Structure 1
């Protein structure tokens, strides 16, 4: 197939600039507009970057119209069904699924890096007792750059790999410590004999006074959630990590910037918003009235956890997580009015023509919040759980960017709308 050719034409002067096509393995081609300003003295304008490619990447592919999500070419549904989160982390970082020996080595490496410096524990005491765990996560992850100076040599592939292993291993320990600080309980050290998600649950819910046994159903549910959240192409937080990282900053600082971006309710905080919505509805009997208000454009009522900016037909992750959600609720014999309320919302949204026509299907945020709730994870820890999973993608994107010899510091342009040039008047004439 021949590569398509594109040009930008100034209709007033007839001046033309060729726009080379940048092709990928899958998906539409990109247009290289890098020389448009130099040749035609105009900028391209794309608020929110919804039609702009910021980079080339071999990590994740999304086809929003077809509902496709691939990690390194593998459908996410297959990975969630057949692999552990650690296997998927290896895949995202290295490009291929590990064999048995590679998986064992990688798993052991992650387990051996889970502890954090003892002095870091004191950082948590500096936060107010009611600080949001995401505030603690942002600050403590940023502070890792004060402990690990060997990663400042970003050009060394071995140093980049060490950073990724450390970050993936330590983020559950930091998140669990933030939770313990919030609830006022003693920190729990990681246990190297436990798998990744079991270790996280142990650090969150175990106490020194008595033994704690991790529920394997809960651990597997987390594993699936983490696989589904591990990466999602050039989303807001990943783009933030790349933009910060493009300056050559310490990679831990770049990850902290990503965590801060993830905190927003329009991004990683969406599953928190789902549970808040359920609180506001209050009773399953009020669901029909609530859904009627959602249909009324003048009511100002929004349906949280439904639809997606990228996926126009369905979110492939939601199909997987829906099955997992119902499996968890059944296995744990959960009887929670809030969960009954959520299931009623789901039932109406999947059967009502209004929602079907507008493709307002339940998305991954809707179901993930329900699963976290069923596992006893409090609402303010939902986004930190997302951050734990997405750390894999952030680290992989940072490595890919730093290893690219064509990398340049990110520098978006703007269309200036302020005052034209003017002279400063004397003070007595203002």
Structure 2
């Protein structure tokens, strides 16, 4: 046995804590209560995720709602779409400032974003193209830390400087992701290196598509990407990456360190990578269900998945179910409405209909599998987002980075609230030691 094996074996053995001890000491695993609601650890005015009511100590399912600074997401989306404009910039302004912008404020904010899109001199070559990487999320995190060195006021925690840093990061994230993707593709897939400079007249969504595909995109494609950026921009302070931002920010560290930590959280397969699992599952379903329009055949295969006899044998139907949403995920509802039009444009309506069929059947099959005590579940945003990105011909390597391009707005808002708020206190929960104390042994007696 090598020393690595010995150390790993010891680490696994010493990490195995009796599950009954968690109940004995009333440990809130995952910071969740016994009824799966979140443990209240803070207050916020940024976002509110509503999926149930609590009555007489019990969770009562309801249609999902999501609020940004008190504005319901569906109203925000309806507002900018009915006006014929993209909404991510307006959403970012709302999250950072706490109120909707006037026309003049939004124009000035757009101009600030345009001015901040370009990366520092030699940054693209030295930080992105020379320091090659296979994973775009890691390259993005590394680049964020690299931006610290280019900021002479990196440690300034004043509100105005935090706003300047936030605007800079929101503007630069799409550029870093696009350049990192082409750098990775050139280095590891032996494909052409393409570097397109951001265009000042384009919105954030249009610019991202332009840097990825040139002018080869439609208005509907840009509208769908803009919607995706808006609905992923914020999801309350309790989601793992936003909470990470707040934990690290509570220590009074710099913006770049806090955002790099959030990126590390989002990279995890249980957080930002969920739509990739949906895509893999859907490919498996398409290959094993002969008639996509036969609901009985689809339902039978879903039951096989739940019984751990199909796909990855985990018993999970990916993209179905959420920690908070019960009857519906408003983000999935909004994305589905536009996704159908995109599927029609791309000639993939049959595939979209299969998604819609699974969304309908999965809860029914789940209730049949679990029985009367089954929790109420619905399709979450990850169920449709991967399909939308695939229709946009966006490579899978940047599905999670797109999430980051959007969520950076929410992260910065939470950092501002944590650093500038009136109740500053470092976040430090408690862990109880459950190992008995043992005496130190001299080397000869071990």
**Aligned position for 1:74:** 71
Match 1:54 to one of 34, 41, 63: 41
- Aligned residue in 1 for 2:160: 158
- Structure 2 CA distance, aligned partners of 1:94 and 1:268? 26
Count of residue correspondences: 380
CA offsets, 1:92-150, max 9 Å, x none?
A: 11111111111111111111111111322122234446x02112112111221111131
**2:152 is matched with which residue: 149, 153, 156?**
149
Shift of the 284–342 alpha-carbon distance from structure 1 to 2, 3 Å rule, reads: farther
Inter-CA distance 182–355: structure 2 relative to 1 (3 Å threshold): farther
The offset of 1:426, in angstroms, is 2.1
Q: What 5-or-longer segments of structure 1 have no aligned partner?
A: 1-42, 207-211
Corresponding position of 1:200: 208
Question: How far off its partner does 1:238 sit?
Answer: 0.3
Give 1:279's match in structure 2, choosing from 256, 268, 283.
283
Question: Distance between the aligned counterparts of 1:106 and 1:258, measured in 2?
Answer: 24
C-alpha distance in 2, partners of 1:278/1:146? Answer: 43
- 1:311 maps to 325
Q: Secondary structure at the match of 1:150?
A: coil
> What CA distance in whole angstroms lies between the structure 2 residues aligned with 1:136 and 1:224?
25
The RMSD of aligned alpha carbons is 2.4
- Counterpart residue number, 2:141: 138
CA contact (8 A) 1:72 1:96 kept: yes
2:16 aligned partner: none
Task: Answer whether contact 1:279 1:338 (CA < 8 A) is retained.
Answer: no
TM-fit CA distance, 1:361: 2.2
Mapping of 1:384-399 within 5 angstroms? 384-399=401-416
Aligned twin of 2:362: 349
Q: Secondary structure at the match of 1:145?
A: helix
Tell me the TM-score normalised to structure 1 length.
Answer: 0.82
Q: How does 1:323-362 map to 2 (within 5 A)?
A: 323-330=337-344, 332-335=345-348, 341-349=354-362, 354=368, 358-362=375-379
The CA deviation at 1:204 is: 1.2
Q: TM-score, normalised by structure 2?
A: 0.80
Gaps in structure 2 of 5+ consecutive residues: 1-24, 33-37, 53-61, 81-86, 187-192, 291-297
Distance 1:297 1:179 in 2: 35
The answer to whether the aligner puts 1:290 opposite 2:301 as a matched pair is yes
Shift in CA distance, 335/153, structure 1 to aligned 2, threshold 3 Å: same
1:188 to 2:196 alignment: yes
Q: Partner residue of 2:441?
A: 425
Distance 2:245 2:43 in 1: 15
